[in-house]
Structure 1
């Protein structure tokens, strides 16, 4: 079965089979925008340059996946396992990464503007050169004070240290 046949299964509504097979295929450059991939096993999948805008990947396993250059605007990754995932130069603006495991993930030079990181594990996560304007952090594991100050200087918002701010967030 090639990638095109796999994508036809997805289009035909064979979601369970599609999700079970994803990890073993190279889907580089595929258009999966708006896909419902909740709880999908995408372990080590090649999803570089894929279009997943607005997709639902809640609870998905993307450990070690290649998402370099992917369009992930507005993707819901809530509670996903993104351990050691490579997002180099991906667009994750307005994505929901709350309560995700991003331990060891590579987010260097990634667009993270407006992204929700509240409750995410950011231990050993590389955020160098990432665009973090209006990205929301709070209650994160693995963020040092130095990293926190650097992210705040670059426009990130830390909700666990608002120090009496009264506006609704």
Structure 2
């Protein structure tokens, strides 16, 4: 496998299967691309499109995604060893993190509509200013996570681990939806 270090890749570039370290990807189009077994460590992706990309056994370690379109990705297929990433202003709608251990993940100003977090470990994570409309949280570990500025979530406290999770008074209704009560 080829090794690439401290390089920049732009929109017209086609990247080959390899191990990428400290690289920057700007406006790259990975939509519907098979990225199986690629490795990314300490990389940044800015304004890239990953929609419906195939990502089995991809390695993401200390990776930052900024302004990326990432619709319909199955993160449960990636290499689960030492996963570490951060999402800033990304669209992750219809993606799945089912069963992943992604503690301390930052979702800053992200759209996570209908994203599946079932059985994920999201402890110590933050959903700053993120939209969680119809996101699925079942048997999810959200302990010590910050959802104080998240919007439109529905989380059943009886089915999820919420010890020391942070919420604001304005979004507490997202914890009470299953009671079918009216909050004014």
The 1:24/1:106 distance shift into structure 2, 3 A limit, reads same
The 1:92/1:110 distance shift into structure 2, 3 A limit, reads same
The 1:144/1:26 distance shift into structure 2, 3 A limit, reads closer
Deviation at 1:90, TM superposition (A): 1.0
1:30 matched to 2:58? The reply is yes
Work out the CA distance in 2 between the residues paired with 1:61 and 1:78: 11
Deviation at 1:91, TM superposition (A): 1.1
**Cα offsets for 1:89-110 (capped at 9, x unmatched):** 1111111112110010001111
TM-score, normalised relative to structure 1: 0.71
Higher share of residues assigned strand: 2
1:82 matched to 2:116? The reply is no
Q: How many residues align?
A: 144
Work out the CA distance in 2 between the residues paired with 1:145 and 1:126: 5
Whose radius of gyration is greater, 1 or 2?
2
What stretches of structure 1 of length at least 5 have no aligned partner? Answer: 150-169
Cα RMSD for the two superposed structures = 2.9
Moved more, 36-45 or 48-57: 48-57
Q: Secondary structure at the match of 1:97?
A: strand
Higher share of residues assigned helix: 1
TM-score, normalised relative to structure 2: 0.66
Work out the CA distance in 2 between the residues paired with 1:118 and 1:98: 7
Preserved CA contact (<8 Å) 1:36 1:55: yes
**Cα offsets for 1:5-52 (capped at 9, x unmatched):** 666375462422265342232224433131111222111112125447
Preserved CA contact (<8 Å) 2:110 2:131: yes
Preserved CA contact (<8 Å) 2:60 2:84: no
Residue of structure 1 aligned with 2:165, choices 135, 141, 150: 135
What stretches of structure 2 of length at least 5 have no aligned partner? Answer: 1-14, 31-44, 180-184
Residue aligning to 1:15: 25
Residue aligning to 1:48: 76
